[in-house]
Amino acid sequence: MSTGNGTRRLDWILSPEPSNRDLPGPGTGLTVGVLALQGDFREHRVVLEGLGALTREVRRADQLEGLDGLVIPGGESTTISKLMDACGLADPITAFSRAGGLVYGTCAGLISVARDTVEGSPPTLGLMDIVARRNAFGRQVRSFEADLVVEGLGPEPLRAVFIRAPWVESAGPGVKVLATCKGHIVAAREGGVLVTAFHPELTDDARIHELFIAMIRRREGAAPEPAGAAQLRAAGEPGRAVAVPANR
């Protein structure tokens, strides 16, 4: 269920109504971790599971083993950085990425994976050749939504939710810009790292998560989605997440 502007309501996410979660989706056969130290990790799990992927909440280094990808969610970047250090996760996440694991950072996650920040803090993982500006669009009261055309997602605009959002202040030559907002980079990728300054997990449009899954498939040479999956999903609304409860 949508609020009318693309933002998902909690009762939609938690809806007990039957869904097509048993139909094969683009994420079938993949296991994607979501860093679950702080922030909106649960919402990412709902979207990924709606696309057929198995998910795992990551709070310890050993929980990175066997993952096909890792999402670092939005939240508070300084808190996430401190908790990663406290849990001994910063170096293992860096090693996971360097070994070919795919990483997607949203909002605070974008800051986490950056080479640096304009402000010089918090410490970052240096997984992507970008410099992030924290709270670039303003504080909580300046939160907003915008329709963005994101390269690789087709012509239909994506409704993007910006909450105390950063932007990419500068990017290295190997970084591919996917979307801008108000003249600033808000979505980009480099190698096996994807970032968005906005929160796609808060809408019913799953195309950004589908893009991340496609990146995993290409990087790992994984088999394509099961035969007939696209036809089965065609009975529903393509490109949209299926609402399913996250695993406990």
97 falls within a domain: yes
Residue 246 lies in a domain: no
- We report the CATH number of the domain holding residue 219 as 3.40.50.880
Q: How far apart are CA 244 and CA 248, in angstroms?
A: 12
Q: What is the pLDDT of residue 172?
A: 97
Across 7-21, 167-181, 187-201, least confident range? 7-21
Tell me which of 13-17, 38-42, 178-182, 219-223 is least confident: 13-17
Encode pLDDT of 108-144 as tens digits: 999 999 999 999 999 999 999 999 999 898 777 678 9
| Distance separating alpha carbons of residues 173 and 167, to the nearest angstrom | 17
* Residue 118 falls inside a structural domain: yes
- DSSP-based three-state secondary structure for 176: strand
**What residues make up the domain containing 24?**
10-233
What pLDDT, on a 0 to 100 scale, did the predictor assign at position 213?
Answer: 98
For residues 9 and 68, the model is more confident at: 68
Encode pLDDT of 72-117 as tens digits: 999 999 999 999 999 999 999 999 999 999 999 999 999 999 999 9
H-helix or E-strand containing 128?
strand 128-133
Does residue 71 form part of some domain? Answer: yes
Strand partners, 79: none
The residue among 89, 85, 87, 82 whose CA lies nearest residue 67 is 89
Q: Among this protein's residues, is 209 annotated catalytic?
A: no
Q: Per the structure, how many domains does the chain have?
A: 1
- Domain assignment present for residue 41? The answer is yes
Residue of 201, 209, 210, 225 marked active site: 201
Q: Which residue has tokens 């709902």?
A: 46
Model-level pTM?
0.80
Per-residue model confidence (pLDDT) at position 244: 31
Question: Which residue type sits at 152?
Answer: G
Q: Span 185-198, mean pLDDT?
A: 98
Active site residue 156: no
Q: DSSP string covering 144-165, please?
A: EEEEE--TTS-SSPEEEEESS-
Average pLDDT, integer, range 26-47: 96
Find the length of the chain. 248
> 44, 49, 107, 181: which one is catalytic?
107
Confidence band, pLDDT 50/70/90 cuts, at residue 227: very low
pLDDT at res. 246: 35
- Report yes or no on 247 lying in a domain: no
Residue 94 located in a structural domain: yes
Which residue among 199, 209, 210, 225 is the active-site one?
199
- Assess if residue 243 is contained within a domain: no
User: Has 220 been annotated as catalytic?
Assistant: no
